[in-house]
């Protein structure tokens, strides 16, 4: 049974496909980096080799720098697997001159993936059921085959084999229908089985017969997995699995399942038993998709920390269920979110520093001011003047102005209407927009300059004239409206408005994708339509000639061939000619392109 396929190039896995459980992530690291490292670093070009590792067989070949690895059960025949490895490597190197191109979506990748999927089919993985007459073998086959209803193919006079589907994988199920408990051909039919199910009637069994079938398995199915199914669990004389293990010591490490063949849920119970013993991959749990949607919402809301934690949980689930194809998607997404999270933290820190209040200045070392020396040094003391006398003292060169005149045009806009007093603005009062009117400067009253010296008077007169002339030329004598804007440090409302304006000016952060995990798509269940023996033979002949054609296309090819040849069924010669014709046309097309 083919379990896993890996293609290794330039120290990374560029392609992988899983049919069933085998190497987990840690085991794969050991296999590639330790056990098979010498075959990668010092390869034997083009030679297909086989090696048993960790309870599985590995089949591998190194060609043109690409390392192909197939993992199968211990019971598989190396020569048969080697042919499939050779076919897969040739098709890959033909479709992908640059091996890393297989990571991209393309028709070549789709063709190669279909080829790998159907490799398992053409290997004919085999499930064998052995046991005494009347133990329930045929009943189990009918239950498992009731959905597909495929017709069994008779082998001589005592056996049938059926195509059954477990999950998305087809198996050949062999059922022995001999009229007695012995056949000389049972050795050959048991040999090469991936799994052997030993069916025993738990209500009526014979120890001698059980010993015969145990020896048959030990002799012919040495490397096959196996399990025991005890039927008729509803019978009063049913013997439990523990009692069976006590009577046959060789069965102490074998899994035994009790089952009632007339139970309503018998199909579900049998499917669970077969899935477990075959080691098939279980479907992802229901919570997986829910957690994926939740992680997607976290990322869309820029809650990167929560999104990263949830994605790490999803990686753990993928490792348990060996869904390695999703690991790379999640790991790359985590790296992207960590970068966005760091940018988010830097942005918050910048905003905090921008609007942070000034720190209080503290002096660590403060030394007091030394007093001036007194009479001891001969410096006279400074006489302090009373505060009340400061206003009355006139400076020597200050011009004398009359008392503030209410008719003065400079102050007419500040006079209240009630008591003709000057408006005063208390400290901290909110500043409102108001108009300040400027008027033409009145002629200078020279008499107001009396009381000053002649030189000062002439100098002041010249300054007034110069300022008047410059103001007049610049047009500042006209009426203007001056608006005083409020400072953001005065009012909280204005401060918030100013913050908003600052945010508009700051560079906008990178836009978050609406669906950041949009590139992640759960793999749908691939339904493989049951095909005829003729279509199966056609596909196998084409593969033997070094090319590939999907099972679906083989079925359509056979249908068209029947119509053209006007035959209800095709013989081997018809199929061989059709395969050769297809391969020749395919190669002509490749050469022309």
CATH code of the domain in which 89 resides: 3.30.450.60
Q: Are residues 265 and 131 in the same domain?
A: yes
The reported pLDDT for the residue numbered 380 is 54
DSSP 93-162: HHH-SSGGGGGS--HHHHHHHHHHHHHHHHT--EEEEE--TTSSHHHHHHHHTTTT-PPPEEETTTEEEE
Looking at the structure, tell me whether residues 64 and 184 fall in a common domain. Answer: no
Domain-located, residue 262: yes
Both 57 and 9 in one domain: the answer is yes
Domain assignment present for 307: no
| pLDDT at position 548 | 84
Same domain assignment for residues 59 and 103: yes
**Do 10 and 112 have their domain in common?**
yes
Query: Looking at the 3D structure of the chain, how many domains does it have?
Result: 4
Task: Mark which of 451, 474, 497 sits at the end of a domain.
Answer: 474
Which residue range(s) make up the domain with 23? 2-118
Is 376 part of a structural domain of the chain? no
Instruction: Tell which of 118, 146, 163 closes a domain.
Output: 118
Looking at residue 528, its pLDDT comes to 44
Same domain, 93 and 162: no
| CATH number assigned to the domain comprising residue 201 | 3.40.50.300
- From 278, 313, 343, give the residue that closes a domain: 278
Whether residues 144 and 100 share a domain: the answer is: no
The answer on 272 and 138 residing in a single domain is yes
Do both 217 and 242 map to the same domain? yes
How, if at all, do strands 225-231 and 159-166 pair?
Answer: unpaired
Radius of gyration (Cα) for the chain, nearest Å? Answer: 47
Q: Are residues 109 and 147 located together in one domain of the fold?
A: no
In DSSP notation, 451-498 reads: TS-HHHHHHHHHHHHHHHHHHHHHTTTS-----PPPPTTT-HHHHHHH
Strands 225-231 and 195-201: parallel
On whether both 100 and 174 belong to a single domain, the answer is no
Residue 168: inside a domain, yes or no? yes
How do the pLDDT tens digits run along the chain, 593 residues long? Answer: 999 999 999 999 999 999 999 998 889 999 999 999 999 999 999 999 999 999 999 999 999 999 999 999 999 999 999 999 999 999 999 999 999 999 888 888 988 999 999 999 899 999 999 988 888 888 998 888 876 666 677 777 777 888 888 878 889 999 887 676 667 777 888 888 999 999 999 888 788 888 989 999 999 988 999 999 999 888 888 888 888 888 888 888 899 999 998 888 899 899 999 999 999 887 788 888 888 888 888 888 888 898 899 999 998 888 888 777 777 788 888 988 888 888 888 888 777 777 666 666 665 655 555 655 555 555 555 555 555 555 555 554 555 544 444 555 544 555 555 555 545 555 554 544 444 444 444 454 545 545 555 666 667 766 766 666 666 555 555 444 444 444 444 444 545 554 555 444 444 444 434 444 444 444 444 444 556 788 888 998 998 888 888 888 888 899 999 898 898 889 999 999 999 999 998 888 878 76
φ/ψ of 34, rounded to 5, equals: -130, -65
Q: Classify residue 265: in a domain, yes or no.
A: yes
For residue 566, tell me if it sits in a domain: yes
Note whether residue 298 is domain-resident: no
Please say whether the beta carbons of 177 and 159 come within 8 A: yes
Residues 188 and 130 in one domain: yes
In a domain, 113, yes or no: yes
């Amino acid at each position: 049974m083919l379990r896993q396929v890996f293609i290794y190039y330039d120290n990374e896995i560029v392609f992988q496909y899983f049919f069933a459980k085998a190497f987990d992530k840690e085991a794969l690291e050991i296999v590639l980096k330790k056990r098979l490292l010498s075959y990668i670093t010092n390869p034997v070009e083009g030679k297909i080799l086989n090696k048993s590792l960790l309870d599985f067989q590995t089949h591998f070949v190194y060609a043109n720098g690409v390392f192909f690895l197939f993992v199968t059960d211990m019971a598989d025949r190396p020569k048969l697997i080697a042919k499939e490895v050779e076919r897969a490597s040739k098709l890959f190197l033909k479709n992908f001159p640059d091996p890393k191109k297989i990571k991209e979506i393309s028709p070549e990748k789709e063709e190669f993936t279909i080829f790998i999927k159907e490799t398992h089919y053409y290997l004919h993985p085999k499930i064998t059921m052995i046991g005494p007459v009347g133990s329930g073998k045929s009943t189990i086959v009918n239950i498992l085959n009731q959905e597909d209803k495929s017709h069994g193919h008779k082998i001589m006079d005592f056996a049938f084999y059926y195509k059954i589907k477990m999950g998305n994988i087809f198996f050949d199920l062999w059922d022995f229908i001999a009229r007695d408990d012995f056949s000389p051909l049972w050795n050959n039919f048991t040999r090469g089985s991936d799994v052997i199910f030993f069916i025993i009637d738990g209500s009526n069994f014979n120890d001698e017969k059980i010993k015969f079938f145990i020896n048959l398995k030990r002799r012919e199915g040495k490397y096959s997995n196996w399990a025991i199914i005890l039927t008729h669990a509803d019978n009063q004389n049913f013997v439990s699995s523990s009692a069976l293990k006590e009577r046959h010591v060789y069965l102490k490490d074998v899994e035994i399942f009790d089952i009632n063949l007339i139970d309503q849920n018998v199909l579900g119970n049998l499917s669970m038993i077969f899935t477990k013993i075959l080691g098939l991959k279980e479907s992802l749990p229901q919570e997986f998709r829910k957690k994926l949607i939740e992680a997607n919402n976290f990322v869309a809301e820029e809650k990167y920390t929560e999104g990263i934690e949830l994605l790490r949980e999803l990686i753990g689930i993928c490792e348990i269920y060996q869904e390695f194809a999703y690991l790379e998607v999640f790991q790359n997404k985590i790296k992207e979110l960590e970068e966005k999270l760091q940018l988010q933290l830097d942005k918050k820190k910048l905003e905090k520093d921008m609007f942070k209040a000034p720190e209080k200045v503290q002096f660590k070392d403060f030394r007091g001011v030394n007093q001036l020396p007194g009479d001891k040094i001969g410096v006279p003391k400074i006489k302090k003047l009373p505060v009340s006398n400061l206003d009355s003292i006139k400076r020597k060169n200050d011009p004398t102005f009359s008392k503030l005149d209410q008719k003065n045009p400079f102050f007419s806009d500040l006079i209240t209407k009630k008591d003709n007093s000057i408006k005063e603005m208390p400290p901290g009062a909110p500043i409102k927009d108001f108009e300040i009117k400027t008027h033409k400067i009145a002629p200078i009253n020279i008499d107001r300059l009396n009381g000053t010296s002649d030189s000062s008077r002439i100098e002041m007169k010249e300054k007034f004239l110069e300022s008047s002339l410059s103001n007049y030329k610049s047009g500042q004598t006209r009426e203007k409206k001056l608006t005083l804007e409020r400072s953001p440090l005065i009012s909280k409302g204005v401060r918030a408005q100013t913050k908003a304006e600052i945010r508009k000016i700051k560079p906008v952060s990178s836009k978050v994708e609406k669906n950041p995990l949009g590139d992640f798509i759960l793999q749908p269940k691939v339904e493989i339509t049951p095909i005829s023996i003729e279509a199966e033979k056609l596909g196998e002949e084409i593969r033997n000639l070094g090319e590939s054609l999907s099972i679906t296309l083989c079925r359509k090819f056979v249908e068209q061939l029947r119509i053209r040849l006007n035959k209800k069924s095709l013989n081997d010669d018809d199929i061989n000619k059709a395969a050769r014709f297809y391969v020749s046309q395919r190669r002509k097309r490749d050469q022309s392109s």
